[in-house]
Amino acid sequence: MSVLTDVPTSTHEPGTIETDILIVGAGPAGLYGAYYAGFRGLRVTVMDVLPQPGGQISAMYPEKPIHDIAGFPAVRGRDLVANLVAQAEPYGPRYLLGHRAVELAHGPDLYPVVRSDRGAVVRAGTVVVTGGVGTFTPRALPAGEDFLGRGQVYFVPDPAEHTGQDVVVVGGGDSAFDWAAVLAPVARSVRLVHRSARFRAHHASVAKVRDLGIEIITDTEVSALHGTAHVERVELRHRTTKAVREVPARTVVAALGFVADLGPLQHWGLALNARRIAVDTRMATNLPRVFAAGDITDYPGKVRLIAVGFGEVATAVNNAATVLDPEAALFPGHSTDT
């Protein structure tokens, strides 16, 4: 099983889930928040619309080295996420993956109640929103909609699942080239198809794919997918000559980018600045018992870095702890003291 998906996951269980802190968003900030809540002895539940933890890192650049994490000259995205999951694991966080947080309400006691699109109901002492850029929806591959889940995918959480298969990756950005490069060692064949001769991907990513001998097919669109129960062939049409060819494929990875917005969060009554959640120095929002951290937040002087998100979510969790127990200390001490 992929490390990115090797977490205890709940889909839906009858009744209401009770938790001290509900973290909405399982990106780096959310995962670090799960650790920090556990370190403070709090029950924590993590909800995310994606089927695996890691947020944008898992979805868009799991194989790319990240250079701005303190103490790591470079760390692969997939490894960073795996380490964050492992860091929180001793405290037993509960994961609700594949759940979109759609509704927030406050009971008479002001405790937040969050409902997901799959029927999960979470009653939390506090909520910490760490939704990154918000909800990001993959751009659809028009010719592949009928084969979604039957060979056409948007993510590759476990490259080993494609061992010995013919794969077609569609797109010209970093995600497309990253997926192509990571699949090349295990797949029988990998082809990358892009509608233009120019790429949005970093030059080094393009060079790596070329060096691996992957066929790059430019000025070409996917005009159709063929197969019975599963994808078997991909029809390609050149945009200028209109010439058509077919190539074998068991998997078609649509890496065409994402459309990001706040989704249901924008209807929760949160104060917003430029479509981001406004917070104060405690990382508190305008709603009672609701905090936020990471790229989804805004305040004067905000810098959007993963490293900043780690500090913000620690601030949010510590302040949430004092809301849960007014006698609790804001600063819990150093981890080396335990």
Annotated binding site for FAD: 48, 56, 61, 101, 136, 295, 336
Identify the CA nearest to 46 among candidates 10, 2, 3, 5.
10
HEC profile of 267-297: HCCCCEECCEEECCCCCECCCCCEEECCCCE
Interatomic CA distance for residues 264 and 230, integer angstroms: 33
Coil/strand/helix, residue 78: helix
Find all residues with CB under 8 Å of 334, minimum gap 6, and list them: none
Interatomic CA distance for residues 296 and 26, integer angstroms: 13
Are residues 317 and 37 in contact, defined by beta-carbon separation less than 8 angstroms?
A: yes
Among all chains, which residue has been given the structure tokens 């430019």? Answer: 218
List Cα–Cα distances, 296 to 231, 291, 313, in angstroms.
37, 11, 12
Written as six digits, the tokens of 210 are 């070329």
Identify the CA nearest to 30 among candidates 55, 61, 64.
55
- DSSP assignment string, 203-214: HHHHHHHHHTT-
